[in-house]
């Protein structure tokens, strides 16, 4: 008996070491040998559960953890393991009950509290999510994952002051969270506090030079500050890796037009149209044709928009401008009368 017990212990240690080295096939063989000797050994079953979870064989992992729970319903490793498996399967509503049972035994586990909060957030249950983030922060006010989670929750709910308070706390601990820097930049951008927004977007680009959200934010802030060269600079960096991004092609076209670079603007609009329909690119091309007194070409651009969207307000206004430019004021008035309020 003593010999058998020692064999199981030795096998379990060897299996754990192989698992630590991610030699999953060899580790599984060792754990299964031990399980044949002692089929109700929680340590062996837990090792198999952990192995399958790490290998993303979640259903098998749950089965092993459930074997433990059949004879030890409060085993914290199994309870947490099952919850983590359901999390990996993107089934938060099934993960939460196991984590709740885990918290009955270990109620101050910040990581599990935060995972429950994250799960409620994914399920769209704001109040429950907030409550669990606050529980975690009540235990450890500087926990980065809880600060990130609750800040993101408030950001999504557009409770911007609360989001900023938690994001600032997090950034004071570690200012390299690019997603947080970008969200803070977006809050200031929405508030039209463009200089402050630029400060945070610049920090994000410092850590991740190709971050599309930060590059877009920088371009947009410079556009609103009438620094169109700056907008072109930042948006062009998005086009360097996304050359067929129609929204950015049109925005760069608009910025180029605002700096008087009509030929380059027209080319950017055309690149967008080569990728597919784009009302903004057609509007831009129409304006260039109108400035050049190429009224038939301008009108053709607008008609392409109106074929798709007959009540497109900006297209109707541009068509009226084309008529005005030709001295057809009565026709322009008729068109403007069609513009939706």
Q: What angle do CA 151, 157, 163 make, to 5 degrees?
A: 25
Mean predicted confidence (pLDDT) in 143-147: 98
Residue 5 is predicted with a pLDDT of 80
Handedness of CA 148, 154, 156, 158 (dihedral sign): negative
Residue 6 is predicted with a pLDDT of 83
Give the Cα separation of 108 and 105 in Å (integer): 9
**pLDDT 10s digits, 87-119:** 999 999 999 999 999 999 999 999 999 999 999
Q: For the whole prediction, is pTM greater than 0.85?
A: yes
Question: Mean pLDDT in the chain?
Answer: 96
**pLDDT 10s digits, 210-220:** 999 999 999 99
Residue 4 is predicted with a pLDDT of 78
Mean predicted confidence (pLDDT) in 275-293: 98
Burial state string for 6-35 with b = 16 or more CB within 10 A and e = fewer than 16: eebeebbebbbebbeeeeeeebbebbebbb
| E-state strands within the chain | none
Q: Report all structural domains of the chain as residue ranges with CATH numbers, in order of start.
A: 1-107 (1.25.40.10), 118-173 (1.25.40.10), 175-242 (1.25.40.10), 260-341 (1.25.40.10)
% residues pLDDT > 70 (the chain): 99
**pLDDT 10s digits, 9-21:** 889 899 889 999 9
Q: Phi/psi at 226 (nearest 5 deg)?
A: 65, 15
- Lowest pLDDT segment from 1-10, 39-48, 73-82, 122-131: 1-10
Mean predicted confidence (pLDDT) in 25-54: 93
Residue 300 has pLDDT above 60, yes or no: yes
Mean predicted confidence (pLDDT) in 25-35: 92
Residue 1 is predicted with a pLDDT of 46
């Amino acid at each position: 008996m003593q010999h058998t017990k020692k064999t199981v212990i030795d096998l379990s240690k060897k299996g754990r070491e192989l698992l630590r080295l991610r030699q999953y096939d060899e580790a599984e063989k060792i754990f299964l040998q031990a399980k044949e000797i002692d089929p109700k050994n929680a340590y062996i079953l837990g090792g198999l559960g952990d192995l399958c979870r790490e290998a993303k064989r979640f259903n098998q992992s749950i089965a092993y953890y459930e074997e433990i729970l059949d004879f030890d319903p409060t085993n914290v490793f199994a309870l947490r393991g099952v919850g983590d498996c359901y999390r990996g399967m993107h089934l938060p509503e099934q993960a939460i009950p196991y984590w709740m049972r885990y918290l009955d035994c270990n109620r101050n586990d910040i990581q599990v509290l935060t995972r429950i909060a994250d799960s409620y957030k994914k399920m769209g249950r704001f109040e429950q999510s907030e409550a669990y983030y606050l529980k975690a922060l009540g235990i450890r006010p500087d926990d980065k994952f809880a600060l990130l989670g609750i800040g993101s929750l408030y950001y999504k709910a557009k409770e911007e002051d609360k989001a900023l308070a938690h994001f600032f706390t997090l950034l004071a601990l570690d200012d390299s969270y690019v997603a947080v820097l970008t969200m803070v930049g977006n809050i200031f951008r929405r508030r039209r506090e463009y200089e402050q927004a630029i400060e945070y977007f610049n920090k994000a680009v410092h850590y991740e030079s190709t971050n599309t959200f930060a590059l877009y934010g920088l371009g947009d802030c410079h556009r609103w500050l009438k620094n169109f060269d700056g907008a072109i600079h930042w948006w062009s960096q998005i086009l360097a890796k996304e050359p067929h991004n129609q929204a950015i092609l049109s925005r760069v076209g608009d910025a180029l037009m605002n700096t008087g670079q009509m030929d380059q603007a027209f080319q950017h609009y055309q690149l967008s149209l080569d990728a597919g329909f784009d009302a903004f690119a057609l509007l831009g091309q129409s304006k260039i044709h109108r400035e050049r007194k190429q009224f038939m070409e301008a009108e053709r651009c607008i008609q392409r928009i109106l074929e798709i969207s007959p009540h497109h307000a900006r297209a109707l206004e541009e068509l009226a401008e084309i008529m005005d430019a030709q001295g057809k004021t009565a026709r322009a008035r008729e068109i403007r009368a069609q513009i939706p309020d």
